[in-house]
Chain A
């Protein structure tokens, strides 16, 4: 837990974000969802978002989204300065509708996945991911 002044500033900024960001999608993420859905109602279920509870490294966090029958999936990091992470479109011949990637997180926050299904309906799910200083467990 040795901290130089410079590191301390970085951590201070990250933790400030942590105190205000978790468990809420910010306006920018809401806008991105609205743009994707065109304002349609968004349901739940039929979409699985897999991510670590606590990031081992906030710069490269493995996440995957699985939404059987989806034609399109968007992934958002609600607490990042720019929430848009990825959009995946699936053609009719896609064997499965899932994507996996590694993303960078500015601090503890919710990540949100929204899928557009073949019938034009939308489903959404979100997970909280913590980015911590760590170092005192055990």
Chain B
């Protein structure tokens, strides 16, 4: 087993985004316009096992801009710890230089101007090139997908994820786990899973009538003379955060005791290396690692964090590989006699202008898009403002959606869910229909309009805030705060549920929200079956068409304290 001290040394020597070119050099080379595919892929193959980790692609087959969060608060014990560090603090923590490609890839600072210089990131065809290059060096490398793959784009919605399934199959994953996949409906998930050449794992997915395991919990692989157990863990709060009527027979949950049993089972069956492929979210995984012994590596997902170095918790290494195809993590391990002796890690940034597209996968992507390309590429309007979503409290994409809901649905207050998916658009960009779907495509899109009392609105916001800021990670659901239009508030994230929100104010009148008064509220993505209203993408499209050009003022309606 590697000691903590060895781990820290190894991290500096062999890990991080810099690869083997030495700390700092990678950035310098990039600044000299000398950044090449060879440098991005450079890796001195190590040990006897290679893991390739991808997660949270959210249906993005083509390269995108994706701005990392400006506000990503950690509460309780994890305050100020990665991934709850952003912007300049993040760059300082990982010794990155502002303005460099890695600063652009990993932080929000100067995002719009750096994006113009360094271009889009991701694209499954570029990811394929990275994966093939790793397999050229280590043919039996395991490709592990932590889920949120079959969701999030125009074509993914129209094809019920067949586009993503077809393209991902070309990369030959070795296992995956899930979250948004289940919003396709359990029947569609089962239909797809029946066609896969690899297991769809979920140790925490149970039949809710008989309380029996509903999915394969793990799969064994023989690699480099060692037995590797890959355990899957689906998103624990699917029936709460997403519509449970879409997968009525299933129960999820963190199920720490179940994980302890499964780890013991694979160890007893001779596992030399135990890998958890997880959609728990980073803080839940961090806590799980402190409570369940015997997991060597957790390949995390769900919370969309990208970290240039592994985080060590007791003897467990946590890997965070970002979202939307921006990164591929490579983890080489030396496993001997049932012990993890050492590792080498690299968070590979998928710069789409530097890494060449794999021709086979590129062709497959175009084939999937071809039937829809005309309707998707129609320009609906333009934006003068940077449009992004990620961040704990608000993003301009959701400000736009809330404005559309208030205007188009004649509402006082708008609510837009705190999803973490949805790529960014730069100032001056055209907004196509595809862009609108990238921020809204899902299977329960109806935009409701209803009356709520001020007290109910506060109850909802307090409930969501506790799902984000409960100091016990096991009670966190991993989304961001519900976005609010037409209303401002103060939030003290350190307070308990029911006491976090104060100063709720109706923006258009400046009056305090009256608990007894009724307000017209418009929103979307209700988990309630039978929700009525137009599809959110049509509401947003109508609004953008009417406005022509989108110009958003900075949103200062939420005041945050306590972190």
Name the residue of chain A whose CB is nearest to the CB of B239: A56
Closest beta carbon of chain A to B423's beta carbon, Å:
16
Q: Is A103 an interface residue (CB 8 A)?
A: no
Contact (Cβ within 8 A) A8 B453: yes
Q: Which residues of B contact A135 (CB under 8 A)?
A: 240-242, 417, 525-527
Q: Is B253 an interface residue (CB 8 A)?
A: yes
Q: Which residues of A contact B419 (CB under 8 A)?
A: 138
Q: Is B455 an interface residue (CB 8 A)?
A: yes
Contact (Cβ within 8 A) B526 A2: yes
Q: CB < 8 Å: which of A8, A54, A56, A136 contacts B456?
A: A8
Q: Which residues of A contact B418 (CB under 8 A)?
A: 136
Q: Which residues of A contact B479 (CB under 8 A)?
A: 136-138
Q: Which residues of B contact A138 (CB under 8 A)?
A: 148, 179-180, 235, 241-242, 302, 417, 419-421, 477-479
Q: Which residues of B contact A50 (CB under 8 A)?
A: 257
How far apart are the CA atoms of A16 and B463 in the complex, in Å?
A: 11
Interface of B, helix, strand, loop or mixed by DSSP: loop
Q: Which residues of B contact A130 (CB under 8 A)?
A: 466, 475
Q: Is A53 an interface residue (CB 8 A)?
A: yes
Interface size bucket, A side?
A: 20 to 34
Closest beta carbon of chain A to B55's beta carbon, Å:
13
Closest beta carbon of chain B to A111's beta carbon, Å:
15
How far apart are the CA atoms of A16 and B241 in the complex, in Å?
A: 21
Q: CB < 8 Å: which of B421, B451, B464, B528 contacts A136?
A: B464
Tell which of A18, A19, A132 has the most Cβ of chain B within 10 Å.
A132
How far apart are the CA atoms of A4 and B296 in the complex, in Å?
A: 48
A-facing mask of B424-462, CB < 8 A → 1, else 0?
Answer: 000000000000000000000000101111011001101
Q: Which residues of A contact B251 (CB under 8 A)?
A: 56, 62
Q: Which residues of B contact A62 (CB under 8 A)?
A: 211, 251
Q: Is B497 an interface residue (CB 8 A)?
A: yes
Q: Is B498 an interface residue (CB 8 A)?
A: yes
Q: CB < 8 Å: which of A22, A56, A108 contacts B253?
A: A56
- For the complex of A and B, 4 pairs with smallest distance between CB atoms: A137-B241, A19-B498, A137-B477, A134-B240
19 A-B residue pairs with CB within 8 Å: A1-B523, A2-B528, A3-B456, A11-B459, A11-B460, A15-B462, A16-B459, A50-B257, A53-B475, A54-B240, A54-B253, A56-B253, A57-B244, A133-B459, A134-B467, A135-B525, A136-B467, A137-B237, A137-B477
